[in-house]
Amino acid sequence: MENKVIKLGEDENFGSSCFYSLGNTKILTTVYGPNPDSKYATYSKGKVFLDVKSLNINTIGASDRQRDDDIKSLLIECISNIILLEKYPQCSIKIKCLIIQDDGGCLSATLTCISLALIKAQIQMKDIIISININSIICPVTKKMYHLVDLDGMEEKYYQSKYEMNSITLGICLNLKTVCFYHGTGSFFNSKTLAEITSYGECACKSLGSEIKKVLKQYTKKRIDSIYQKVNVLE
């Protein structure tokens, strides 16, 4: 896996944020809420809104825009199923994602970043979501399948030029050990290959999850130490 950077903080509008980088892929997610919303006065559960923007200035075609809308809908569905929305009746939770740079694994990085920003915002959830991207290739000689995790853009182009390749973004609930997000493209999917890829992906997610848990524990410790220091100053 590529090098990762995680930074939790707040913005000037009191939103809770997470900056997450995976290699050269960089995502900034900010969560606003839960906030009471008169539009949903009759709702017994909270409502999730997601806004995703990219600094990529390349022209987006109609088919790409439709694909992005479909993926956004999948993300909202995943997030809404993980957040305990019944805890936030008549409220809205607004999530803004800025894709600063996309160099491969952008979807998985975005989902992980959203999960971390929700934790920073102290939104109650069933579990933390950990996501990775898996590229699978088949050797033309041995017909054996190989799995590659979180390739960067250059690596992805190289393998695509040499081999037939499938790509899957997998998200799991780390502690519940259940799959909560699945999105893939490719031509050699079947029940056997999907089971193999999913099993491999779950192991990779657990490995990444262990690293992220350490970062969260370090962040929590720093916050507690900072509070104690402020209390000591007041005394």
Average pLDDT over the chain, rounded to an integer:
86
The predicted structure's pLDDT at residue 226: 63
Instruction: Give the model's confidence band at 224: pLDDT under 50 very low, under 70 low, under 90 confident, else very high.
Output: confident
Type of residue found at 83: I
3-state SS, 126-189, equals: CCCEEEEEEEEEECCCCCCEEEEECCCHHHHHHHHHHCCEEEEEEEEECCCCEEEEEEEECCCC
pLDDT of 32:
94
Question: Residue 1 — pLDDT band, cuts 50, 70, 90?
Answer: low
Residue 59 pLDDT > 50: no
Higher-confidence residue of 226 and 16: namely: 16
Residue for token digits 């590529």? 2
Q: Is the dihedral of CA 228, 230, 232, 235 positive or negative?
A: negative
Q: Supply 99's token pair.
A: 């894709």
In the predicted model, what is the mean pLDDT of residues 64-71?
Answer: 77
Sign of CA dihedral 218, 108, 160, 196: positive
Domains of the chain in sequence order: 4-234 (3.30.230.70)
Burial 108-130 (b: 16+ CB within 10 A, else e): bbbbbbbbbbbbbbebebeebbb
Q: How far apart, in whole angstroms, are the C-alpha atoms of residue 157 and residue 148?
A: 13
Contact criterion met (CB below 8 Å) for 209 and 173? no
- pLDDT of 108 above 80: yes
pLDDT > 90: what percent of the chain? 50
**DSSP designation for 61:** P
The residues, any chain, with a CB within 8 Å of residue 209's CB and separated by 6 or more, are 128, 130, 172, 174
- What integer is the mean pLDDT of 147-166? 90
Residue 89 has a pLDDT of: 92
Mean pLDDT value across residues 130-139: 92
For the chain, count helices (H), then strands (E). Answer: 4, 9
> If you average pLDDT over residues 206-235, what whole number do you get?
75
71 vs 66 pLDDT, higher one: 71
